[in-house]
Structure 1
Amino acid sequence: MDLELRHLRVICAVADTGSVTKAAARLGLAQPALSAQLHRIERALGGALFERDRRGARPTALGELVLARARVLLPAVRGLQDDVCRMTGSGGGPDHCRIGAVNTPVLIGLVHRFSSEFPQAQVTTLTSWSVVELVGTLVAGRLDFVVIGLCGTAAPPEERGLAWRTVGVDAVGVLLPEADPLANAADVRLADLAAKRWAATRGEGCFGDCFAAECAKAGFTPLPAYETDIVSCIALAQEGSAAVLCKPTLPPMAGLRALPLTGAPLRWRHLLGWHEESPAAPLAAKMAAYAEEAFAEAVRRNPGYAKWLDHNVGDMG
């Protein structure tokens, strides 16, 4: 495995926080995923980078060497990218906008609004299930804006110079076939889904752990979940083979209903991110407004959910 800049960012995050768990939260990764990545980095470098115990993670001699080089290389690469952008005028501005997004109802409305105001502008999009990938591409200067999702109150990645704005909050819901008796209500109690198999799109962060914790509060352990793409999730829901975790702002689909979970035990925040020093930064306020409008429009597409939100604002906190 060749050492990459993203690996250096992982090493710096562990050193800065003194903990693999805290570093995972900063980077928007699940702790087991970050631990596995750190092990791969250490194997590639030929030795342990950190001493880990109950008190945290402390750099070894090899770790100190790698950290010293990383703290020189990362700012140098970031400075080079900034200089290139300033010299070439590449990226951002009303002539060109590059937007990355996870699976979100915000992207289409955001692009539509930008294109309506700047009809001559070229718009390119990148979709990914990985927040880490999108943020890395944003930091590298290959994207102007990203729309990501985070579970509950989880903090967005703390890369230097990045700015974040919450543009909408969804109550996590479930996608069920209309023939399911539970689909006739305004919302669904998590406990009433205890016997269901589950499905969800691939993702990162703490959502899986938060979901398991809420199921435990509801008195059950969830059956193993299918982790797959959105098309397969929809097919599983249509067949009645799985209850699909979803955002109720999904576009309406024939034969299916997207319903919030009673009491909003799980929430999903949609955030717009950009680099404060990028050429696109002057557009940030306008793009945030577009994204907020796009989220509101997505809510209106599901009148039942819009009505539910009006009566459950307190639950959404």
Structure 2
Amino acid sequence: MQLELRHLQAVCRIAEAGSLGGAARRLGVSQPALSAQLRRIERVTGGELFVRGRSGVEPTALGHFVLAKARRVLSEMDALGAEARAISTGTPLRLGCILLVLIDGLLAQTDLFMSGQEISVDLEDSVTALARMLGTGQYDAIVYGEVNEHEVPLPAGVLARTLVPKEPFCIRLSAQHPLAAQERIELADLAGESWMTLVEDDDGGPEALVAACGQAGFTPSLRYRITDRMMHYDLIAAGRAISLSQPTAPQVAGTVMRPLVGNPITGRIRLAWNRAAVSAGQAELLYRAAARAYLANVDNNRFHKDWWDAHPELQISLGGEPSAAGTPTP
């Protein structure tokens, strides 16, 4: 038997998962089948690659050597695929997103930064679905959000980069609401209101809202889940609901946006891409396009502009390096 790429991938997945069972689930095979495959690989390499430890399997000295070589080969193959796609004509870059404020501007920015590269863009309601489709090759890159400490698991073979490490969510409510005249709102003062349910239900947002309201002494009444922006705004303007909102959201007639005291709910915006489909150069251009799109909205609301200016350590950098899947970077 000769070693193939799938064998190298199996060895890497075992090391990443720390167990045969975990690696088998990631690879979509049974644990006995993976164990048999590992034994065949070990016969070719001439010895054991893993031994059982207290917390799972651990690489042997030979295993560390094989892993280093395997990762290098797989990285080169990923680069080959990505760079070939970048050079070839007629191959669109497939971008998946959730409904973030920056998306409208991102479409224009990608035209400027990635001239000559055709890009197709789809919106999804589920961050989990975005990550899964990135892993299966349906998307080449995704832009998504995470709320508070929630981290979206990313598939293997993916690199990720944090665009906005932290932004405080605010409240959108009717301009006629009794609290509209206040500069900042206590979350506890919103008990008894009808809330818009967040469109994404797997980015940590619903849990963060319920937890923050619980600490404020009430359970939010999640009454509406509406994806149409104008209907969403009309209900709020009519005083029938309130909603969490990104602080960069636009002003809308009949509504106002106010920050919450203590910033109990914050968001993070990230870019992730399949390194076998997107070259380092393309990823950098995509990151810059997203950064410009976000920065164009910072002035939408004075309270956020003031907060943004007061936190230079969190501001978008057009430098820096990407991280491996699942590892946030500032």
Q: TM-score, normalised by structure 1?
A: 0.68
Whole-Å separation in 2 of the counterparts to 1:225 and 1:66: 43
Whole-Å separation in 2 of the counterparts to 1:250 and 1:235: 15
Cα displacement string for residues 200-253 of structure 1 (whole angstroms, at most 9, x for unaligned residues): 324214322221111121122222342231434323212211111221211221
Name 1:103's counterpart in structure 2. 99
More moved, 85-94 vs 285-294:
85-94
Whole-Å separation in 2 of the counterparts to 1:262 and 1:65: 49
Aligned-partner residue type, residue 119 of structure 1: S
Name 2:324's counterpart in structure 1. none
**What is the aligned counterpart of 2:175 among 161, 170, 178?**
178
3-state secondary structure, aligned to 2:297: helix
Matched, 1:201 2:207: no
Distance 1:214 1:313, change over 3 A: farther
Aligned-partner residue type, residue 216 of structure 1: G
Aligned-partner residue type, residue 271 of structure 1: R
Answer yes or no: is the 8 Å Cα contact 2:152–2:203 preserved in 1: no
Answer yes or no: is the 8 Å Cα contact 1:93–1:280 preserved in 2: no
Name 1:297's counterpart in structure 2. 296
3-state secondary structure, aligned to 1:182: coil
Aligned-partner residue type, residue 162 of structure 2: T
Identity of aligned residues (%): 23
Name 1:235's counterpart in structure 2. 234
- Please provide the CA RMSD for this pair: 3.8
Whole-Å separation in 1 of the counterparts to 2:201 and 2:214: 21
Cα shift at 1:104: 0.5
Q: TM-score, normalised by structure 2?
A: 0.65
3-state secondary structure, aligned to 1:201: coil
Aligned-partner residue type, residue 172 of structure 1: F
3-state secondary structure, aligned to 2:142: strand
Cα shift at 1:122: 1.8
3-state secondary structure, aligned to 1:134: helix
Aligned-partner residue type, residue 121 of structure 1: Q
Cα shift at 1:183: 2.1
Whole-Å separation in 2 of the counterparts to 1:239 and 1:215: 23
- Number of residue pairs aligned between Structure 1 and Structure 2: 256
**What is the aligned counterpart of 2:186 among 186, 189, 210?**
189
3-state secondary structure, aligned to 2:225: strand
Name 2:81's counterpart in structure 1. 86
**What is the aligned counterpart of 1:163 among 126, 134, 159?**
159
Cα displacement string for residues 99-118 of structure 1 (whole angstroms, at most 9, x for unaligned residues): 11101022222222221134
Whole-Å separation in 1 of the counterparts to 2:195 and 2:102: 24
Cα shift at 1:311: 4.8
Matched, 1:147 2:130: no
3-state secondary structure, aligned to 2:160: strand
Distance 1:313 1:215, change over 3 A: farther
Answer yes or no: is the 8 Å Cα contact 1:264–1:315 preserved in 2: no
Answer yes or no: is the 8 Å Cα contact 2:82–2:275 preserved in 1: no
Name 1:212's counterpart in structure 2. 210
Name 1:6's counterpart in structure 2. none
Cα shift at 1:255: 1.7
Q: How does 1:1-317 map to 2 (within 5 A)?
A: 66-68=30-32, 86=81, 89-90=84-85, 96-168=92-164, 169-199=166-196, 200-231=198-229, 232-311=231-310
Unaligned runs of 5+ in 1: 1-11, 19-49, 51-56, 73-78
Answer yes or no: is the 8 Å Cα contact 1:170–1:249 preserved in 2: no
Whole-Å separation in 1 of the counterparts to 2:139 and 2:29: 31
Distance 1:241 1:271, change over 3 A: same
Aligned-partner residue type, residue 132 of structure 1: T
Whole-Å separation in 2 of the counterparts to 1:146 and 1:70: 31
Cα shift at 1:193: 0.7
Aligned-partner residue type, residue 255 of structure 1: G
Greater helix fraction, Structure 1 or Structure 2: 1
Cα shift at 1:287: 1.7
Cα displacement string for residues 93-138 of structure 1 (whole angstroms, at most 9, x for unaligned residues): 8963321110102222222222113433322101001112212222
Cα shift at 1:162: 1.3
